[in-house]
Structure 1
């Protein structure tokens, strides 16, 4: 019973497996599907995810495969209400990187393979039982053969219909929005088409119409198309349906052709109240699903995986006490709540049906998006660089829980390499080295220079501030590290 069992080989499960494998932890990644995703699905990789990919060692492959979108537009009829730009994002990755999910999975699978781990396909979790020292999982193979495996930790990255979540009996609380939405991956041509590197939203009295750029000259079109009775499902859309939406909601002036994916979907907004129960964890869509507005879903799930992987690795390798794992659920559940609220607000704003409310919205947007600070705030929220863990049990001191800005790394990102360790930033290098010598499993051996010489900081392996103290806060640092190291 050595390998951690991960269920679900989408972007979240692949990230989880790759991070654990990078840290030398044995993993087994299973998926009941015979092959990886073949459609575009989630499209956007945002700035914070790319920063975390730097420490994972795979950002270059994504940058090479993706299309960089420097901004967005919000339109109504022939009027541009505003054009938020992403250049203001305080990151080296100040753009939205458009990468179809099939490519995201392909790149992450290759990254995982570099650690000698392959996805086991057509292997399904049939059930599991938990004991004090591990989990017994029953796996079913394509030929009907079953096996029971023991794992110290079980991680459910198996999507909205998660078998792991159902096995835990956790409620997936929330609701489904009533409207059907059309989705089409197509080509768009003509002088009226939005720029090929811009996310364009057209607000119309019938509902929103959104165009997302995709690499290689394609685009994703998404639009509301009304409600249907569940007993009479709507047939798949046609290219003519897409063109009709372009003509009515986007003012025409461009044509659609060459469809590779036409479908309908409904928006669900649901979330569990806890991401962990005993030796079982949930991440990604198994724990939270929400509106695609803002493109936050996959990014949030991949960041769930990064958050949990380094903690599990430190506990499994005996570098930290098991109490470290207690921080995962409160940290990521709070982020899940935030993403749900933001995505829901964007969707509610775009789908207003009352004509007076629509008019007031458009006037407000035109005014607000004319303000530099509002445009910057919108871009920053999308990028996820300001996600923080201020309320975490791991956060101590003023400003703790915040992202440690890449400009302050002073070397490779914390958490790079084969061992997750906290990094001490302190002006007194000699005293810092002595502290690191007392906690060799927790701290990098060599302290780094802080951006403020009067400060002392302990930065987590996922590049967030754990402890923030004054330059004389050595006793605080000692207590902080001792608390992490102690066993339960």
Structure 2
């Protein structure tokens, strides 16, 4: 019997499965689709996700396959309103890695395959019921044959129309915006074509147009078109439609060619009221869907996976109390809410329609993007390096819940290896070693030196500070660890 059944083999489900297997758990991962996605869909992997992929031993393949964007430019007409540079992101990965979702899924599938796991496709979750110590799941194969599976844990990574979320009857609050958007994966050339190492945004009186670079000399164009009668859906755009939009909003000198994907879409913004219920969990689009502004939807979902994996692994291995799992939903729900709010604000700002409001917006952007502090804040928000869990039940003390800066690891990243353990950081290595001996299942055996010798820190396997205390407050360290057990 598998320790965990994962429904959905997109980037989030694949990440989840790989992390569980790395931590020594048996998984089944199923997907009703015959094939992985064939289109580019989510295009960017941000710094924080790359840091976590590095812990998992999977980042190098992505770096080799992706294109590094070092910033973004915002223009209105022929005027440059400002730039956001990613070079100062406080991470070894101080860039946006542009890579099509089809490639992300290919690389994650290969990584999972190297761990001995095969995706079971054309296999659908029909229904499930929770018992005291397991979940009974009914699966349907492509030939109509049904299978009843008993699994200790069920995780829904099955997208916006999640069968797992529907089975839990969890509310999915939010709404769809009224505008239609154009999406075009094409090639750009000409003297006016944007730089291939940055994201280019063009603000226009009729709405924004954004150009994202893609590996292989390609680019994606996303532009708002306007409202359409829901009873008469807008047809997919033609290449001539895309060229007309580029001429109108980017100016002369840019030519679009070689289309591989032309479509329209609407923005939905929704979030589940709860990410977990008993032995069942939600992650990724099953729990939250966002505006594509900022490119954070897939990243947020993959980070859901990293957050849940170490917690569930510690519980299954008997290292920690099942109460540890109670932190997953509040932590990730708060992040999902913040990401949704930020993406919504960015979309609302870009799609302002009153001319006076557009003029004020452009003046404000030109001023604010000239300030280094604003540029740094924008970059840290988009890269998700500023995500923190200050209000988590796992955070105790000043600065707890913040991400530990990579330069402060004093060794390999926390959470590396095949068993999740907390990391104790103390200048008193003798007392630290004695504490680790009393909690061998929870702590790495050897304490590490903290970035500040006056602090006693306990670091979670995902690299966030759990406990922050004064260097001699060993009673707080012991109490923190006892709460895990």
Range of TM-score over shorter length: over 0.9
TM-score for both structures, normalised by structure 2: 0.99
Deviation at 1:251, TM superposition (A): 0.8
SS in 1 for 2:466: strand
What is residue 23 of structure 1 aligned with on the other side? 23
Structure 1: how far apart are the matches of 2:453 and 2:114?
39
Structure 1: how far apart are the matches of 2:113 and 2:444?
27
Pair 1:227 & 2:223 matched: no
What is residue 8 of structure 1 aligned with on the other side? 8
What is residue 250 of structure 2 aligned with on the other side? 250
What is residue 58 of structure 2 aligned with on the other side? 58
What is residue 348 of structure 2 aligned with on the other side? 348
What is residue 481 of structure 2 aligned with on the other side? 481
Note the alpha carbon deviations across 1:131-187, whole angstroms, 9 max, x for none.
111100000011111000011110000000000000111111000000000000000
SS in 2 for 1:225: strand
What is residue 327 of structure 1 aligned with on the other side? 327
Structure 2: how far apart are the matches of 1:285 and 1:189?
35
What is residue 448 of structure 2 aligned with on the other side? 448
Gaps of 5+ in 2: none
Structure 1: how far apart are the matches of 2:127 and 2:2?
19
What is residue 132 of structure 1 aligned with on the other side? 132
What is residue 107 of structure 1 aligned with on the other side? 107
What is residue 433 of structure 2 aligned with on the other side? 433
Deviation at 1:196, TM superposition (A): 1.1
Note the alpha carbon deviations across 1:223-268, whole angstroms, 9 max, x for none.
0111111211111110000000000011121100000000000000
Structure 1: how far apart are the matches of 2:310 and 2:44?
24
What is residue 208 of structure 1 aligned with on the other side? 208
SS in 2 for 1:84: strand
Structure 1: how far apart are the matches of 2:294 and 2:384?
10
Note the alpha carbon deviations across 1:283-337, whole angstroms, 9 max, x for none.
0000000100000000000000000000000000101000000000000000001
Deviation at 1:364, TM superposition (A): 0.8
Note the alpha carbon deviations across 1:21-55, whole angstroms, 9 max, x for none.
00000110000000111100000100000111110
Deviation at 1:3, TM superposition (A): 2.4
Note the alpha carbon deviations across 1:169-209, whole angstroms, 9 max, x for none.
11110000000000000000000010011100000000000
CA-based RMSD: 0.7
Structure 2: how far apart are the matches of 1:223 and 1:86?
23
Alignment of 1:41-80 (within 5 A): 41-80=41-80
What is residue 399 of structure 1 aligned with on the other side? 399
Deviation at 1:2, TM superposition (A): 3.8
Structure 2: how far apart are the matches of 1:2 and 1:197?
44
Note the alpha carbon deviations across 1:353-378, whole angstroms, 9 max, x for none.
11110111011111111111111111
SS in 2 for 1:309: helix
What is residue 143 of structure 2 aligned with on the other side? 143
Structure 1: how far apart are the matches of 2:311 and 2:61?
26
Pair 1:421 & 2:421 matched: yes
Pair 1:165 & 2:169 matched: no
Structure 2: how far apart are the matches of 1:42 and 1:56?
21
TM-score for both structures, normalised by structure 1: 0.99
Structure 2: how far apart are the matches of 1:35 and 1:132?
35
Structure 2: how far apart are the matches of 1:28 and 1:3?
8
Structure 2: how far apart are the matches of 1:142 and 1:2?
21
What is residue 338 of structure 1 aligned with on the other side? 338
Structure 1: how far apart are the matches of 2:215 and 2:248?
26
What is residue 83 of structure 2 aligned with on the other side? 83
SS in 1 for 2:179: coil
Note the alpha carbon deviations across 1:448-485, whole angstroms, 9 max, x for none.
11111111100000000000011001111101101101
Q: Note if contact 2:2-2:28 (Cα within 8 Å) is conserved in structure 1.
A: no
SS in 1 for 2:34: coil
Structure 1: how far apart are the matches of 2:375 and 2:4?
43
What is residue 360 of structure 1 aligned with on the other side? 360
Structure 2: how far apart are the matches of 1:419 and 1:427?
25
What is residue 267 of structure 1 aligned with on the other side? 267
Structure 1: how far apart are the matches of 2:360 and 2:414?
47
Structure 1: how far apart are the matches of 2:55 and 2:92?
14
What is residue 185 of structure 2 aligned with on the other side? 185
What is residue 198 of structure 2 aligned with on the other side? 198
Deviation at 1:343, TM superposition (A): 0.2
Structure 1: how far apart are the matches of 2:378 and 2:431?
42
SS in 2 for 1:161: coil
Structure 1: how far apart are the matches of 2:464 and 2:285?
23
Deviation at 1:273, TM superposition (A): 1.3
Gaps of 5+ in 1: none
Displaced runs of 4+ in structure 1, greater than 2 A? none
SS in 2 for 1:113: helix
Structure 1: how far apart are the matches of 2:297 and 2:179?
19
Q: Note if contact 2:134-2:150 (Cα within 8 Å) is conserved in structure 1.
A: yes
SS in 2 for 1:175: strand
SS in 2 for 1:212: strand
Q: Note if contact 2:5-2:27 (Cα within 8 Å) is conserved in structure 1.
A: yes
